[in-house]
Amino acid sequence: MGITELLLNILRIYTFILVARALFSWFDPGYRTTIGRILYDVTEPVVGPVRQVVPSTGGLDFSIMITVFLVFILQRILISAL
């Protein structure tokens, strides 16, 4: 397994974590539970800067969706490098 494949696997896992955070926010919006806190702590270093660039519109936060899209683009770039 090369470094590119390892990075692709990490990005795939991170995408699932981002989706889990988005879904989990419906049930625990304050991230008070242990799982919610872990999801928040793992994803916020990437989602936070995106949120600063793209503010919420009408109370909706699109930062996680945009982050997933950016991770998808990064995956495509890595795949094309293979």
Closest listed residue to residue 51, CA positions, set 61, 41, 36, 59? 61
Question: Rounded CA gap, 70 and 33, in Å?
Answer: 28
- Region 41-54: mean pLDDT is 94
So where are the chain's domains?
A: 3-81
For residue 55, give the amino acid letter. P
User: What is the mean pLDDT of the segment spanning 18-27?
Assistant: 92
- The confidence band for 14, taking pLDDT boundaries of 50, 70 and 90, is very high
Global pTM value: 0.87
Query: Could you tell me the pLDDT band of residue 25, with boundaries at 50, 70 and 90?
Result: confident
Quick one: pLDDT at residue 70? 96
DSSP-assigned states of every residue in 17-76: HHHHHHHHHHH-TT--SHHHHHHHHHHHHHHHHHHHHS--BTTB--HHHHHHHHHHHHHH
Q: Which helix (H) or strand (E) holds 13?
A: helix 3-27
Please report which confidence band the pLDDT of residue 4 belongs to, taking 50, 70 and 90 as the band edges. confident
Q: What is the pLDDT of residue 82?
A: 77
Task: Give the mean pLDDT of 38-52.
Answer: 94
